Amino acid sequence: MNILTFTTRFGQDAQVRYTPNGKAITTVRCPVEAGWGENKHTSWVTAVIFGDRGEKLAPHILKAGKATISGEFKAREYESNGETRMSLEVLVREIELQGEPRQTGQGHEPVNTGQQSAPPVDDFDDSLPF
């Protein structure tokens, strides 16, 4: 089973591209830290979301936003300037956006992650005996 799950802060805003037949491909670069002390290092993973889901999530995937991502891990080789290079990718199966989205003033709306905030203190019933 090839599943990678990690929590990260996005390294950039999401980018949406389209295939020639119109299918959306949403990508975002994510730093993943490993090790500790002098042995700590950061690897960059590209999260890839296919189709409508990625297109709908893109406005909410903003630089420095936090998320937990789970999906199939893949190392992809490509050539650049005559050199063979490697790109680390995760084909996203699940993504959970965390925290409050930052406001950029670019028309981004807050995303509802399904979590409800606690009711204000004033809403409690004072007649409860405990």
Contact 61, 55 (CB under 8 A): no
Tens-place pLDDT, residues 79-93? 999 999 999 999 999
- Report yes or no: 62 and 28 within 8 Å, Cβ to Cβ: no
One-letter identity of residue 10: F
User: Looking at residue 1, what is its pLDDT?
Assistant: 80
Q: pTM for this one?
A: 0.72
- Residue 99: what pLDDT? 77
Tokens 């599943």, located at residue? 3
CATH superfamily, domain 4-123, is Nucleic acid-binding proteins (2.40.50.140)
The domain segmentation of the chain, as residue ranges, is: 4-123
Beta strands in 10-125 (DSSP E): 15-18, 24-34, 41-50, 66-80, 83-98
